Amino acid sequence: MRAYNFCAGPAALPTAVLEKAQQEMLDWHGKGLSIMEMSHRSKDYVAVAEKAEADLRQLLNIPENYKVLFLQGGASLQFSAIPLNLLGKNSKADYIHTGIWSEKAYKEASRYGEINVVEAGTTIDGKLAISDQSTWNLSKDPAYVHYAENETIGGIQFDKIPEVSAPLVSDLSSSILSAPIDVSKFGLIYAGAQKNIGPAGLTLVIIRDDLLDQAKPEIPSILKYSAQSKNGSMVNTPATYAWYLSGLVFEWLLEQGGVEAIHKVNLEKAKLLYGYIDSSDFYNNPIAIQNRSIMNVPFTLANSDLDKQFLKEAEENRLLNLAGHRSVGGMRASIYNAVPLAGVQALVSFMEDFAKRNG
């Protein structure tokens, strides 16, 4: 029996997707070989790759003037690829700082341009929150404004899209496909695949056409969006299996009714878990209500001496990977698309029982 996996990434994948991949593993569509053994330039593979893109376009309603790239190197390589691609004409960018990932992004970008760090963290009644945009020190004419829509470690998420005149660049690694978004509001969206998209090894970039010609001349061609776009994300051999499997996840999402339908389930899951945490004196979530992530729910126990015991018993109950990020400790339940409502119900029952016995 499969356990419930609350890992922040690589994260749970839908069981139906894994079963399909298993069925197709040895002999893909009667061709006598696995998809992993196929040339990325073959007609069959290119059809798989193009279908994945078409399904993603449908899921996110991506306008025609946006390119979709299936790259490698994780979201972390994009921390460099973005400034290398976008700071060729104007070397200034604004980075909104709300947590560990946005900090990593601006530190890396600082190697390539003049970065204005916009501090956007605040507290409301002792809880962490994102400050009102009117208080931000945005600069006058940056090439772009970067933010991390959902801080996976802190569990802090924007409740609205920042309103800026420069192109908006968003790290959607841990929230893409969890809720509808208006892609036309962004210049560039990027996400590592290993949370809501598919296995690790694939990185998605969605970029507006007009931003393709702003690269610095010294950029490696493999990182250059215009080159990747011209070559169907195949400047070199792409992560073929991860791309294929992500395509199966997109098909699965469409079968669930698309992003709007999965968003409803996600809201229900988040409401159940935060609702229980708030009703209990034993558990605490440090984030102000309007900025609580619907994907990553960090929480602490009233007595941290019980942390190890909590994790051990959770694992015995087939509730896996609930430890918080190593930099912050405590607990974190990542409740991505592939974690069903039943998984969150099982977690809440366990938490209730643990609190009763140890409170």
Ligand X SMILES: Cc1ncc(COP(=O)(O)O)c(C=O)c1O
Contacting positions for ligand X (CB under 6 A): 9, 74-76, 101, 148, 152, 171, 173-174, 192
Q: Has 353 been annotated as catalytic?
A: no
Residue 290 CB, shortest distance to ligand X, in Å, is 19
Q: Which of 101, 243, 252, 269 is flagged as catalytic? A: 101
d(C-alpha 189, C-alpha 170), whole Å:
5
Between residues 106 and 276, which has the closer beta carbon with respect to ligand X?
A: 106
Task: Give the residue carrying structure tokens 């962490």.
Answer: 128
Q: Which is nearer to ligand X, 38 or 109 (CB)?
A: 109
- The response to whether 171 counts as a known ligand-binding position is yes
Residue 44 marked in a binding site: no
Q: Which of 28, 67, 195, 243 is catalytic?
A: 195
**Nearest approach, Cβ of residue 174 and ligand X (Å):** 5
To the query of whether residue 195 is one of the catalytic residues in this protein, the response is yes
- Closest separation between CB of residue 79 and ligand X, Å? 8
Does the annotation place 78 within a ligand binding site? no
Annotated ligand binding at 252? The verdict is: no
Catalytic residue among 94, 171, 224, 252: 171
Based on CB atoms, which residue is closest to ligand X, 172 or 355?
172
Classify residue 95 by its DSSP letter. E
The identity of residue 263, as a single letter, is: H
- Looking at the Cβ atoms of 66 and 158, the one nearer to ligand X is 158
Using the minimum distance from each CB to ligand X, give the nearer residue, 82 or 355.
82
Smallest distance, ligand X to C-beta of residue 76, A: 3
From CA 274, how far away is CA 270, in angstroms rounded? 6
75 annotated to a ligand binding site: yes
Shortest CB 293 distance to ligand X, Å: 10
Active site (annotated) includes residue 28: no
Residue 357 CA to residue 264 CA, distance in Å, equals 33
Tell me the C-alpha to C-alpha distance, in Å, between residue 187 and each of 63, 101, 171, 213.
12, 19, 12, 13
Residue 76 labelled as part of a binding site: yes
DSSP-based three-state secondary structure for 42 = coil
Residue of this chain nearest to ligand X (CB atom) = 74
Instruction: Please classify residue 184 by burial: count the beta carbons closer than 10 Å to its beta carbon, then call 0-12 exposed, 13-18 middle and 19+ buried.
Output: exposed
Per DSSP, which regions of the chain are E strands? Answer: 4-5, 66-71, 92-97, 114-119, 121-124, 127-130, 144-148, 150-151, 156-157, 168-171, 188-192, 203-208, 283-284, 296-301, 319-320, 331-334
Long-range contacts of 218-221 (CB under 8 A, 24+ apart): 218/84, 219/84, 219/85, 219/88, 220/84
Q: Residues annotated in the binding site, as ranges?
A: 41, 75-76, 101, 152, 171, 194, 236-237
Just list the catalytic residues: 101, 171, 195
Q: Residues annotated in the binding site for L-glutamate, as ranges?
A: 41
Q: Residues annotated in the binding site for pyridoxal 5'-phosphate, as ranges?
A: 75-76, 101, 152, 171, 194, 236-237
